[in-house]
């Protein structure tokens, strides 16, 4: 390697280091920033050249050049639940393939979330943030925006940022129309009102009323049990619904976890599924097939991967092909739903 | 602030900056490294002093001082499964409270893991690594060691590094002794052989043989179904066991997910639980109570938090009080286990 004269040394740029080391610009950059994807021998050669010419990587310059940290922050509640864990796994896979690191911010409850938006621990540590399936609004939104980085919402609609989600109204209609087609008219709804939910509860709730309306069935508020998220709550809701004098012949639960609770209550009451009562959920949780639960499948892994791809487009400086991506859902019929008993059908 | 003379400026250290700004050493360090936990006004004051005296944070010096990156790498397979997600959530909580960031490395399958140990993307990016519930051996262990950082194993025993786990043998004995106390003698085992398992399958398997031996029941290999991890596999294993001419009156499954599959098979065969066959699992998965499954509870959140605390001790330069922490498990009796039918008990 020819030793350049003094003025040249002062002006040495990344491109010069790359040329002197006989590698591409990207490889030189990765080698100097200790990023993976560079053979060890190559890395050593680049570092030797950089040292020889006293070249120093400037974090500020790197930041200005676009990809300063090579890290993406992942803001995720309820990591212990299947939906969130699956989402994160899929996002991580796509980002890792692009040699980006994932900084995890587990915000389990409202207090964690408040603290995150107050302290913004991700500040200057990430190039982008993916918010997994919870709504960010009001002051939190302003704080998130103040990070000055790209944001994508995975598993939920978002007015401000690009997002990936499912159509919750359509999912709810699939579940409800299935019950109505089987002949059910007296249908209970177990409605989750947890604000942390990945889904828009309003979409799944609106589907209930819309389906009844189309079928000409009047809405009966006694048939709706509004509860916080969780299987135990689903079980209690089912107790209430099955204690009604004119009890429902079918149950539409906002999620499979709620439905699992409903199934337990039915079992404990000695009710046969689906002869005495049909139950349908939403999600296709991995346990749904083990519980023989009819449900509406949403593609979780695919949503996570799509959100990560969207983020890659943004980081590369191009707008993603779609700023809003809605995945479709499908009905999966199993043994928990069937026609109502003849006497139940006749009563009406 | 008095302006020091030239020689003083050259010697200015972090302690000087801290004193000049009127803050502690830790606060000065955090402020200069843009870490959270410092009020904005304080941060600005520290930065102003540093700028005035041309003080520059040296990453090399910081690294030598101990905590260079303020990041911990989390190596975790199967994030979509409850056990792993819960573990990560607990670890993240403790590390975040200590103002450490979590770099996530989701290594879902063997190929991911191979790639991680080959490329070591965590190199120079973390001060420590927590391995969540999978064994690291042979060349992988050498590669992991080459990172030159602290390592803790969460949810599994490890010969080399400090670890947190449960006693799988004791857990298995709780399940088996429960069945034997109820009067069962012909007990089937659904044994998971997935190498990725968080538990030591050998511990849970050894418990089966040991419990039988103590009860004076000869070991019958026909009663053992070895399968990969997963509910569907559990369901198939149950089909095989219940097709035996002299079929078992009780099933000991290595994990609740396997037991859920077994319960589905029993239901589909029209068998009553526990009258026709008892089923016990291990873990106390959140779905276990919804499935009325008797199981052995292991504290997952507690294991994660303890592993993170262990790591904090190591990062602070002190050995943790215990390098091996084994949590105890407890039997949770629900409706899936009961005494065998009289005729089954009499047959023997």
pLDDT at A180 over 80: yes
Residue of B nearest to A236 (CA): B290
Which residues, including other chains, have CB under 8 Å from residue B4's CB and lie 6 or more apart? Answer: B12, B53
Which residues, including other chains, have CB under 8 Å from residue B243's CB and lie 6 or more apart? Answer: none
pLDDT band at A50 (very low <50, low <70, confident <90, very high): confident
Of B84, B103, B292, the CB nearest to A103: B103
Interface test with A, best of B57, B86, B89 (most A CBs within 10 A): B89
Tracing tokens 């890395």 back to the chain, one arrives at A43
Predicted pLDDT of residue A264: 98
CB pair distance less than 8 Å for B123 and A74: no
Question: What is the reported pTM?
Answer: 0.80
Residues of B in contact with A84 (CB under 8 A): 85
Shortest CA gap B126–chain A (Å): 11
Predicted pLDDT of residue B338: 98
Question: Is there a cis peptide before residue B274, judged by omega within 30 degrees of 0?
Answer: yes
Give chain B's largest Cα–Cα span. Answer: 98
User: Distance from first CA to last CA of chain B, Å, rounded?
Assistant: 91
> If 0-12 CB within 10 Å is exposed, 13-18 middle and 19+ buried, where does residue A204 land?
buried
- Can you say how many angstroms the Cα of residue A27 is from the centroid of all Cα atoms in its chain? 33
Predicted pLDDT of residue A195: 57
Residue of B nearest to A256 (CA): B287
pLDDT band at A135 (very low <50, low <70, confident <90, very high): confident
Q: For A74-116, how does the pLDDT look when each residue is reduced to its tens digit (9 = 90+)?
A: 999 999 999 999 999 999 999 999 999 999 999 977 888 888 9
pLDDT band at A29 (very low <50, low <70, confident <90, very high): confident
- Higher-scoring residue by pLDDT: B140, B266: B266
Which residues, including other chains, have CB under 8 Å from residue B236's CB and lie 6 or more apart? Answer: B227, B261, B265
Crossing angle for the helix pair A201-215 and A168-181, to the nearest 10 degrees:
40
Q: Identify the helix (H) or strand (E) that includes residue B110.
A: helix B110-119
| DSSP string over B134-190 | S---HHHHHHHHHT-SEEEEESS--SSS-EEEE-HHHHHHHHHHHHHHHT--SEEEE
User: A120 and A96 in contact (C-beta within 8 Å)?
Assistant: no
Predicted pLDDT of residue A158: 83
User: A116 and A107 in contact (C-beta within 8 Å)?
Assistant: yes
Which residues, including other chains, have CB under 8 Å from residue A58's CB and lie 6 or more apart? Answer: none
B251 strand-pairing partners: B188, B279
CB pair distance less than 8 Å for B104 and A108: no
Residues of B in contact with A292 (CB under 8 A): 264, 267-268
Predicted pLDDT of residue B89: 95
Phi-psi category of B282—alpha, beta or left, where left has phi over 0 and alpha has psi -120 to 50?
Answer: beta
Predicted pLDDT of residue A2: 42
Mean predicted confidence (pLDDT) in A313-321? 86
Give the Cα separation of B194 and A214 in Å (integer).
49
Shortest CA gap B218–chain A (Å): 32
pLDDT at B199 over 70: no
User: A107 and A136 in contact (C-beta within 8 Å)?
Assistant: no
Predicted pLDDT of residue B43: 82
CB pair distance less than 8 Å for B290 and A104: no
Instruction: Provide the ipTM.
Output: 0.78
- Can you say how many angstroms the Cα of residue B286 is from the centroid of all Cα atoms in its chain? 16
CB pair distance less than 8 Å for B80 and A79: no
CB pair distance less than 8 Å for B79 and A96: no
Minimum mean pLDDT range among A196-205, B226-235, B326-335? A196-205
Q: How many helices (H) and strands (E) does chain A have?
A: 14, 12
User: B158 and B296 in contact (C-beta within 8 Å)?
Assistant: no
Mean predicted confidence (pLDDT) in A27-49? 80
Of A37, A99, A124, the CB nearest to B34: A124
- Higher-scoring residue by pLDDT: A36, A7: A36
pLDDT at B216 over 60: yes
SS3 call for B123 = coil
Of B84, B101, B232, the CB nearest to A125: B101
Residues of A in contact with B37 (CB under 8 A): 119
Phi, psi at residue B347, to the nearest 5°? -50, -30
Interface test with A, best of B106, B283, B305 (most A CBs within 10 A): B106
Calculate the average pLDDT of chain A: 87
Calculate the average pLDDT of chain B: 87
pLDDT band at A308 (very low <50, low <70, confident <90, very high): very high
Q: For B70-103, how does the pLDDT look when each residue is reduced to its tens digit (9 = 90+)?
A: 999 999 999 999 999 999 999 999 999 999 999 9
- Higher-scoring residue by pLDDT: B20, B84: B84
Give the Cα separation of A175 and A330 in Å (integer).
9
Neighbour order of strands in the sheet with A163-166: A324-327, A163-166, A150-154, A128-132, A71-76, A101-106, B101-106, B71-76, B128-132, B150-154, B163-166, B324-327
The share of chain A scoring above pLDDT 70, in percent, equals 86
Residue of B nearest to A257 (CA): B287
Of B71, B80, B287, the CB nearest to A260: B287
Return the closest-CA partner of residue B288 out of B276, B303, B298.
B298
Residue of A nearest to B34 (CA): A124
């Amino acid at each position: 390697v020819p030793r350049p004269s003094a003025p040249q040394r002062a002006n040495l740029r990344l491109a010069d280091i790359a040329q002197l080391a006989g590698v591409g610009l990207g490889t030189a950059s990765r080698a100097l920033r200790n990023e993976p994807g560079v053979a060890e021998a190559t890395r050593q050669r680049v570092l030797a050249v950089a040292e020889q010419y006293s070249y120093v990587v400037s974090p500020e310059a790197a930041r200005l050049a676009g990809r300063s940290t090579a890290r993406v922050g992942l803001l995720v509640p309820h990591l212990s639940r299947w939906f969130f864990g699956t989402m994160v796994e899929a996002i991580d896979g796509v980002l890792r393939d692009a040699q980006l690191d994932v900084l995890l911010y587990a915000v389990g409850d409202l207090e964690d979330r408040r603290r995150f938006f107050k302290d913004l621990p991700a500040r200057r540590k990430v190039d982008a943030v993916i918010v997994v399936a919870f709504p960010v609004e009001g002051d939190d939104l302003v704080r998130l925006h103040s990070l000055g980085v790209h944001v994508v919402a995975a598993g939920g609609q978002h007015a401000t940022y690009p997002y990936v989600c499912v159509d919750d109204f359509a999912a709810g209609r699939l579940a409800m129309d299935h019950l109505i087609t089987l002949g059910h008219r007296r249908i209970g709804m177990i409605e989750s009102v947890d604000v942390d939910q990945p889904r828009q509860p309003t979409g799944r709730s609106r589907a209930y009323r819309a389906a009844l309306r189309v079928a000409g069935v009047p809405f009966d508020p006694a048939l709706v049990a509004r509860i916080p998220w969780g299987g135990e709550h689903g079980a209690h809701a089912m107790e209430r619904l099955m204690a009604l004098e004119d009890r429902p012949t079918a149950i539409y639960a906002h999620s499979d976890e709620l439905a699992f609770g409903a199934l337990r209550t039915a079992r404990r009451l000695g009710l046969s599924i689906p002869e005495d009562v049909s139950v349908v959920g939403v999600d296709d949780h991995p346990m749904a097939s083990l519980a023989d639960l009819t449900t509406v499948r949403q593609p979780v892994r695919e949503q996570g991967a799509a959100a990560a791809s969207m983020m890659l487009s943004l980081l590369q400086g191009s707008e993603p092909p779609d700023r809003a991506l809605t995945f479709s859902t499908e009905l999966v019929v199993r043994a928990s739903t069937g026609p109502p008993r003849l006497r139940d059908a006749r009563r009406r």
